[in-house]
Chain A
Amino acid sequence: MKNLFFKLQSYPLAWIVLVACLIALTISALSPYFLTVNNFSNLMKQVSIVAILAAGQSIVIISGGIDLSVGSVLALTAVTIGWLVQNGVSPEIATVCGVAVGTFAGFLNGVIIAKGKIPPFIATLGMLGIARGVALVITGGVSYQVLTPLFLFIGNGKLFGLPIPIYFVIVAYAATHFMLSRSKFGRHVYAIGGDESVSRLEGINVDGRKIAIYALSGFFSAVAAVVMVGRLASTPPNVAFGIELQAIAAVIIGGISFAGGRGIVLTSFVGALIMAMITNGLNILGVSSFWQQVLIGIVIIAAVWVDNIKSARRR
């Protein structure tokens, strides 16, 4: 039994999928409603935004950094889209502009971290305040309605029977996984996360890579914002408040090492799914949302504990 446990450690995706399955089985044993097509579709919609953010966050964490600004950048993107649509810009162009603004915010994070030598925690904490603040300034705190066909389709449409946000998630994870495992950029992300000074000495353009990494995280935040605007059909400037912690938790629960240099992005999706299942399952079972927070907190600590066992075995 103990051997099996350790063997599974070398297959991080198999391991975390097994954990997710156990959780799903436990909840469905308690409530027949949990494993229904309807609830599953619901769950996927709920998980989509955190999952997209977690994909970007995974790249950042594997590179040895952290991005606390993703929720605020999401809000800034959403508000930019809402404000442009309100002022007569077509939803398509507004979306492109919004995504550009979100990516630019991430790019700024990267420049501050790489060129300004500000630790990622501090730089993105600053951006967390700045992006949210700008979103509030633009709107004066008002939420815009965006009831256009594009956003209604993104939020409520289906393709081949699956809600549209799921496709965003699939593309985000497929692209990220491919990038991390097959491209030079991906290899450098792992190298920088493993040892930044070695990477620098071996001629990797560490600063350039970091800027790209945080710009990419900004881009993922902006893509999550598009899904969010679709789901809400409006752009409240306080949207997604505190969601960065959920994104980081999803990455950690999935099993990517917080120390950087290790892990695969697909586990972050499962991590996001586990959190969503716990919330969704406990809602179905009628457990108070206060207890849900306690449970998720325990799951996060347990995940890091498992990660510690893994690194202890490496030494």
Chain B
Amino acid sequence: MPNQTPLVRMENISKHFGGIQALTDVSVELFAGEVVGILGHNGAGKSTLIKILSGAEQADSGRIFIGGEAADIQNPNDARSYGIETIYQELALCGNLDAPSNLFMGRETESLGLLNKSYMRSETDSILAKLGIKIKSLDVEVENLSGGQRQSIAIGRAVYFQARILIMDEPTAALGMEETKLVIDLIQELKKSGIGIFWISHDIHDIYSFTDRVAILKGGRNVVTCATQACSQEEIVSMIISGIPAPSLLKDRPMAAAANTA
């Protein structure tokens, strides 16, 4: 994998809000077909990092490469044009609109200058069927659906618009166990198709089983990025808290350091 060109490389990203330094020189990479967990406490900078990639915020300094090419991401539309789609914890859908309206939000299909509602409806129907997502009706406002169904629609949207890079910001935080499983199964499918996924979480236990690598942030700095299986869950928890790389990682420090600064 390291010999491939990474799908995403964020290099030395820094960002401050007023007097608060949210991110300092953070670098991460994401390869095709890989799930990378971004871990940290509230305020560790994980959401800010990901908002910079999704175009919701702009970095003060640092560079982003998509597929090896320098990328200029000023807003969500720029990010989308690079194949980056974001699934937010709760901000994903407009509850007052139905599934097709949400799936096509901001990218509505028109014919002769008017909304092509029947086309958007049938496309929604087929993408949800393809992903095995069942909702009771396409015409019901999505606030009447369960959290898992809503999250599935958001994922369906990303897949429909051919995301290569998926950012998931605590996508299962508001979901029950069954529904979380639904989302994780969906993610495994997407992985197989070569999509790269950043999964943001504050709890390693939620993501230990299905992430390939984890990047741990504390105080806006990248503590370490390592293969998930290289550490135990306990070691990762203590790194999130202490901000100090686990001793077991220090043995192969050159590799860990390389992953950090590559």
Contacts and interface: CB of A to CB of B under 8 A. Distances in A.
Interface stretch (B35-43, B84-92, B191-199): B84-92
Interface SS, B side: loop
B101 A187 contact: yes
Interface stretch (A29-37, A195-203, A223-231, A285-293): A195-203
Contact of A203 (B91, B101, B107, B143): B107
B242 interface: no
A202 B106 contact: yes
B93 interface: yes
B94 interface: yes
Interface string B171-203: 000000000000000000000000000000000
Interface stretch (B11-19, B109-117, B122-130): B109-117
Given A183-B113, A194-B97, A204 B106 contact: yes
A199 B91 contact: no
Interface in B61-105: 75-77, 80, 86, 88, 91-97, 101, 105
B115 A195 contact: no
B159 to A, nearest CB: 15
A190 B97 CA distance: 8
B123 to A, nearest CB: 15
Contacts of A194: 94-97
A298 to B, nearest CB: 28
Interface string A184-212: 10111011011101111111100000000
B94 A187 contact: no
Interface residues of B, number: 27
B115 A183 contact: yes
Given A197-B91, A198-B94, A201-B76, A184 B110 contact: yes
B56 interface: yes
A314 interface: yes
B144 interface: yes
Contact of B143 (A190, A193, A204, A314): A314
A310 interface: no
A262 interface: yes
A2 interface: no
Contact of B97 (A182, A183, A191, A200): A191
A271 interface: no
A203 B75 CA distance: 8
B113 A201 contact: no
Most chain B C-beta atoms within 10 Å of own C-beta, residue among A184, A188, A200, A202: A202
A261 interface: yes
Nearest to A204: B106
Contacts of B56: 201
B96 A193 contact: yes
B234 interface: no
Contacts of B110: 184
A184 B108 contact: yes
Contacts of A198: 91-94, 105
A201 B91 contact: yes
Contacts of A184: 108, 110, 115
Contacts of B93: 195, 198
28 contacts: A186-B115, A187-B101, A187-B105, A187-B115, A188-B106, A190-B97, A191-B101, A191-B105, A191-B106, A193-B96, A194-B94, A194-B95, A195-B93, A195-B95, A195-B96, A198-B91, A198-B92, A198-B93, A199-B94, A199-B105, A200-B76, A201-B54, A201-B56, A201-B88, A203-B76, A204-B105, A261-B94, A314-B144
Given A191-B94, A314-B143, 16 more contacts: A184-B110, A190-B94, A190-B97, A191-B106, A195-B95, A195-B96, A199-B105, A199-B106, A201-B76, A201-B88, A201-B91, A202-B105, A203-B75, A204-B106, A261-B94, A261-B96
